[in-house]
Amino acid sequence: MPFTPFHMGPGIVVKALLQGSFSLMVFGWAQIVMDIQPLIVLISGEGHLHGFSHTYIGATLLALFSALSGKYLSEIGLFALGLNNQWQVKIKWRVSFLSAFIGTFSHVFLDSIMHADVEPFFPLTTDNLFLGLISVESLHKACLYSALVGGLLYFLLNWVQKLKK
């Protein structure tokens, strides 16, 4: 699922459940970082489309990069959107790392279900145990529906919190 919004669906559910303990912006940044290597392959026509970046070892390295860079990029993004006036919102490091790791690991898992060339457990094995776990159509629907459910859940939980105050 390169460069599709489908990866964001599960992230929206996690954001709804974890609220301020999860950064959807860092998660989204991790999705972009994950697909840089496949983009280069698509442009150049050379290499393994879902190569090392789509292994759990690669995802670990990309999560570290995404967390370190995504914290600052997200704070700047929130400021640019007018949601971080006077730089009051600071993303905690643990939130940045949790969000990046959930982002990269979920990316490998979701892509493993639909892409035969993903080798998530490389170098231990080249087998993809998740391939065909569900149909591609069902996977896309699950991601889309999770975005809708996550969005509703997020606003519902925020509304309940405001009622309690």
Q: Give the Cβ contact number of residue 120 at 10 Å.
A: 24
Q: Are 57 and 97 in contact (CB under 8 A)?
A: no
Sign of CA dihedral 85, 86, 88, 94: positive
- Residue 12 contacts by C-beta under 8 Å, 6 or more apart in sequence? 24, 146, 147, 150, 151, 154
Q: Are 34 and 71 in contact (CB under 8 A)?
A: no
Please give the distance of CA 3 from its chain centroid, rounded to a whole number: 11
Q: Are 84 and 72 in contact (CB under 8 A)?
A: no
pTM for the full model? Answer: 0.92
**Tens-digit pLDDT string for the chain (165 aa):** 456 788 999 999 999 999 999 999 999 999 999 999 999 999 999 999 999 999 999 999 999 999 999 999 999 988 888 877 766 778 999 999 999 999 999 999 999 999 999 999 999 999 999 999 999 999 999 999 999 999 999 999 989 988 887
Report the candidate in 41, 43, 35, 46 with the shortest Cα–Cα distance to residue 3: 35
DSSP state of 51: -
